[in-house]
Amino acid sequence: MASPRLVAVPLVALVALYLGSANAFYSSSGPVVELTSGNLKQKLKAAGIMLTEFYAPWCGHCQSLKPAWEQAAKALKGIVAVGAADCDAHKEIAQEYRVQGFPTIKLLYVDESGSIKSTDYNGGRTAKELVTFALDKARSLAMKRLGEKDSGSKSSGGSKGSRGGNGGGGSDGGFYGGTDVVTLTDDNFKSEVIKSNDLWLVEFYAPWCGHCKNLKPSWIEAASELQGKFKLGAVDCTVHQSVCSEHGVQGYPTIKYFGTNKRSPEDYQGGRDTGSIVAFGNAKHADNVPPPEPEELVSQAAFEEHCVGNGSSKPKRLCLIAFLPNLLDSKAAGRKRYVGILKKVAEAYRDKPYSYLWVEGGVHDKLEANFDVGGFGYPALVAFNPADKKYTVCKSAFEFSHVKDWVESMRMGGTGAVAMQGSLAPLKAITAWDGQDAKEDLPEEFSLDELNEL
């Protein structure tokens, strides 16, 4: 009887076979499809749609994701393919799909033309969230092929209308709900930001992001302080991926400034504290918003609108009110010079919630009495705080440099504000100045002959 024939296998080959099997990140017999530069497109076109992880074996986050990824792949087997590409071994894949970090998760699918398309996933890393995202996207794709709009709920990592799950996403407005921060979405970003004339700082965030949670209190406080001058918004990128992808968001939080040219936003590189954010907003507001025009105080309605406030407008922080000489004394040129000085002060403090009013002295005598000015010594300039009903009078000459020094001293608390005299008197309506010199009433001419007759 012939003895069995032994086949010699080189030791190196056995070691290589063993190491290759032992070092495989995902088992070849498991539910995760192994993707390489040679088979990725073939596997994807066969599956039609595939949730894909781009990873590196040495990456700690990839290792942490592995159990959930395998669990999701098992749950989705026969429904949505789940694959993984080792970008350390297949660097050309990382380059082709613009992978910037590990793990990167994308939903790859084949469109009707046969082209491969992708959607980034920025949601949570649990198996449930991954499965929900994949199923929602598969349903959305199927409805699109039918020519129907998908009205179902979206996953925590999806695009529109998501109601995200535990730590992975966030409902629209949930993160900043009830604050002055504007919640922005795929649906409203264009109308709220791109088509608006407002200046915006927009935070692109993820609710599970630690740095985003740290920024949140400062973002809310800054939005309140800048209200009426500068808008702060926020986009949950785990829900609204389209707008985040469009603006090249790679990490959280990403903050961009949308100024006058909304198509070319600038990256915000300032501090993440309230003071830095507010200072940035005020500076941009000052650069882009024209200063308030000095207004003639022609009525009670004008006083309410530009100073003390009413049902539709808030009180100003400070109202500078100038009582100017009679037009017969200053002439039109003199009055225009005084108003011009007010305008220069407005330009110097254009980022402050101040208003600038003027009226001819003696016209609103009761208002002058409230501030203990008037009757003589025009021009008189008063700074009035309508909130605490206090005022201070400028004792210097009505020249720009003197007035500016006075305002600076007042802002530092050095001018000795006093309480207003009595209650604010209602103002009577007057005719606005027409910009011309006053017409003097000349006495009627008479003839010397009339005297001789006497």
Q: What is the DSSP string of 238-295?
A: TT-HHHHHHTT--SSSEEEEE-S-TTS-EE--S-SSHHHHHHHHHHHHHHHSPPPPPE
Q: Comparing C-alpha atoms, which of 54, 50, 79, 80 is closest to residue 65?
A: 54
35 bridge partner residues? 85
Q: First vs last Cα of the chain: how many Å apart?
A: 172
Q: How far apart are CA 137 and CA 131, in angstroms?
A: 10
Active site residue 212: yes
**Which of the residues 212, 237, 319, 394 is marked catalytic?**
212
| Annotated catalytic residue 394 | no
Instruction: Decide: helix, strand or coil at residue 394.
Output: coil
Active-site residue, 319 included: no
Under a CB-based contact definition with an 8 Å cutoff, are residues 373 and 382 in contact?
yes
Under 8 Å between Cβ of 211 and 171: no
Is the backbone peptide bond immediately before 253 cis, with ω within 30 degrees of 0? Answer: yes
Residue 128, strand partner residues: none
Known active-site residue 237: no
* DSSP designation for 91: H
For the purposes of burial, counting CB atoms within 10 Å of the CB of 75, is it exposed (0-12), middle (13-18) or buried (19 or more)? Answer: middle
Lookup: tokens for 257 = 């400034």
Given a contact cutoff of 8 angstroms between Cβ atoms, the answer to whether 321 and 382 are in contact is: yes
Catalytic residues: 59, 62, 209, 212
